[in-house]
Structure 1
Amino acid sequence: MTARNADEVADGTLGGGVTDTPPRPVRIMPLGDSITAGLNSTGGAGYRDELLGHLHRLGHDARFVGPCVNPFQPQGDPGYAAVCGITVEALTALLPRWIPAARPDWMLVHIGTNNMYGPDHTAAPGFLRTFVATLLRLAPSAGVLLASIIPSRLPEWQAHIDDYNRQVRAIAEESGHRGKVFFVDMAPALHASPQGGDDLSDLVHPGDQGYAKMAAVWRDALHARLPAPGGGPILNPNPHFRTPWLSEAVQRGRGDTPACFPGWTNHGADACHGRLAGLDNGSNAVGLRTAPGFLGISTRLATTPGRPVRVTFRARALGASPDLGAPMHPGRTFGVQGGGHPGATVTATDDWRTWTYDFVPTGPVTDLRFTPGTGPRSAPGARAGRGPLVTDVVARETAC
């Protein structure tokens, strides 16, 4: 089996000079307070990690955006926009700095809980109206999913929440918001009781069970409004190598730890910032360096025996760049393999190309691995060198 250039899959011939078009994941901003941040959840990701898994299983290529990151989020894509303890009006003041930088396609808004505690709770709907108007001004082409806030164990606060949620629905359904703002009735999905034994971990924050219910509500609301998926279920976490360990200020770092790319096991790869991964689709890249101790990168897929899998990925040789300078002994070949299936050897070119690798799983779990040094010029024992670069690895189930 060999890896094939994307145009060969379409017309049965190997074409040259193919213009690479990188995928553009849907940009989703989780926006709110400590409930959006994931306080009291195992791993600290709240609903976000499970929601991303839901979207992948539905076939949606999505990424989370925002100024905050959770380095331990297993699915990767650690971005979000939330501050613990913040009120509606205080969060509004942060939007002019956050929204233009993140360029979201969709915003998941759950805000208002911290306005419910005191005598000024009646002002919260007015603050929310200003909040929504600010979102629409800063991101006129984005959609807003505006949620009712989840219940509380304290009856006095719950009375305030009930009043507020009626206004949340009314604000979302105002005529000027039609087609831009959509009400999401989150409150009924979670159960709260003064006696406990419910979906909360304290008076106002969900436990893991509550966050899972929130993820399901967001999933249904997004799935109904996102473009049709570009294929079958996405099987691998973190397809675009999102990581909190790289930034605009740090263009390149040696990836020595599994946490460098959440969802992937790093057997030794150079971690390269998105500027080295082609166009601005939010991807990072891995450099499959030929050197002792650099054995590539792998991830585990939950597969269905007998159901074909197609892996698409982008690659190019690592030439000279403003970030890295001229590479030493650049390699061009690398291998891709799904579990014990026949592997493929890829020879990268000087520009980005999109490739595919097909296999039929024989078991419920398949390890997908990218390894350096499979060609004669970069085989094990050859001179150490950098590259090639690999990014945008999307493994999807295909029709039988």
Structure 2
Amino acid sequence: MPSPLKALCGVLLAVALLAASPATAEASTVDEPAVLADPVRVMPLGDSITQGGSIGGYRLDLGTRLRTAGRTVDFVGSLSDGPGSMPDRDHEGHPGWTIAQVDANVVNWLRTYTPRTILLHIGTNDMYGSDPAGAPRRLSALVDKITAQAPAAEVFVSTIIPIRFADATVRGYNSAIVPLLRAKAAAGKRVHVVDMYPAVPISDLPDGIHPNAAGYSKMAAVWFNALSSVPGSIGDPPQPGGTCTATPQVVSDWNGGFQAEVTVANPTASAIAGWTVRFTLPGGHTVTQIWGGTASGSVTVTNASYNGTIGPNASATFGFLASGPGAPAVGTATCSSP
């Protein structure tokens, strides 16, 4: 016969096991924390029209549109330039290059940067070269090389924008490449035709070749619409209840300081109540004044009482002054909401 002490211990052990087993079962079914998706790697590919000079070309406004839409995208390439306020400046736009020059280098770039999506605007320099009539054939070979090296990538190929002094040649090139590209798509390749030519009027080409800021903004809109029409090319759209986005912009600067504005957007189908934005400033810079939010740390900004609620597909703004040495810039901003 067991002793009273042993019996009591057995009862206590059984109770402990019974109490622990629901927790154990629950722990076995708890979901792991969600892992944030990697940014979609997008390669802007082409010549000086892709590079875009000191204003960053279409890449500036396209990046803003993508962030505002809640898309997580990483521009990739061996080159990096544009305004200091531009959060993502990487690209593969080579001023003065022809189709053949891109063709000679593209395999190495694709191996190095493994883009998920490619934006190709090329052929402008071929239009006033020695063989413009052969440019459609060269483009076709280039696209075949891209799709062979990166068969899973979405390849968006645009007609080229006008050239003031070679419009007939440009029109001939564009009309020749469209059926070639559509035939590749019909054969199962991930090739998408983007009609860029009508988007940029000659009045937006100060030198007859390169767009001004207005022209590049129009190009960005065409690229964005094309990307949005192909699922997965820029990731999945944000779901209702997702986080907000924050897009900073330097609006003015002076020796020793600058003024910036940040647009906080809600790309979801539900209103958000309250937001927090985090970003970095260049070394030695500090925020000296802020409006439309409350700053803390380096640098976290929470909404003011009057702009914390943002309706679906709406936005709010805050601004600040910063002082410090060197070029003005605002690092990539992130936004979260309750």
What pairs up with 1:265-284 in 2 under 5 angstroms?
none
Cα distance in 2 for partners of 1:173, 1:361 equals 42
Q: Tell me which of 23, 32, 40 is aligned to 1:26.
A: 40
Aligned to 1:103: 114
Look up the match of 2:273: 308
Residues 286-297 of structure 1: pairs in structure 2 closer than 5 A: none
AA partner of residue 364 (structure 1): A
Taking the TM superposition and a 5 Å limit, the aligned residue runs for 1:194-343 are: 198-227=203-232, 228-231=236-239, 234-237=244-247, 300-302=262-264, 307-309=272-274, 337-339=300-302
Structure 1 length as normaliser, TM-score? 0.57
Deviation digits for residues 155-188 of structure 1, max 9, x if unmatched? xx21111111012211210146535001000001
Residues in 2 aligned to 1:149 and 1:340: alpha-carbon distance in whole angstroms: 43
Q: Which residue of 2 aligns with 1:386?
A: none
CA change 1:335–1:190 in 2 (3 A) is closer
Q: Superposition pairs for residues 95-174 of structure 1, below 5 Å?
A: 95-154=106-165, 157-174=166-183
8 Å Cα contact 1:49-1:73 kept in structure 2: no
Give me the whole-angstrom Cα distance separating, in 1, the residues matched to 2:142 and 2:176: 13
Alpha-carbon distance in structure 1 between the residues aligned to 2:274 and 2:31: 26
Structure number with bigger Rg: 2
Supply the AA of the counterpart residue of 2:52: G
Structure 2 vs 1, CA of residues 147 and 50 (structure 1 numbering), >3 Å: closer, same or farther?
same
Shift of 1:301: 3.9
Deviation at 1:82, TM superposition (A): 1.3
Q: Hey, what does 1:317 align to over in structure 2?
A: none
Q: 2-side partners of 1:397 and 1:187: how far apart?
A: 40
Task: Provide the C-alpha distance between the structure 2 equivalents of 1:220 and 1:112, rounded to a whole number of angstroms.
Answer: 22
How far the C-alpha of 1:336 sits from its partner, in A, is: 8.1
Aligned counterparts of 2:162 and 2:303: Cα–Cα separation in 1: 50
Q: Deviations over 1:3-45 (max 9, x none)?
A: xxxxxxxxxxxxx996562431111110000000003xxx430
Structure 1 residue ranges, 4+ long, deviating more than 6 angstroms after superposition: none
Read off the aligned partner of 1:167 and give its amino acid letter. A
1:365 aligns to what?
317
- 2:116 and 2:274 mapped to 1: Cα distance? 29
Verify: 1:180 aligned to 2:190, yes or no.
yes
Which is bigger in relative contact order (C-alpha 8 A, separation at least 6)?
1
Counterpart of 1:308, as a letter, is A
Aligned to 1:191: 201
Match of 1:353 in 2: none
Q: How many residues align?
A: 259
Paired with 2:176 and 2:163, the residues of 1 have a C-alpha distance of: 17
Contact 1:312 1:392 in 2 (8 A): no
Question: Aligned Cα RMSD in Å?
Answer: 3.6
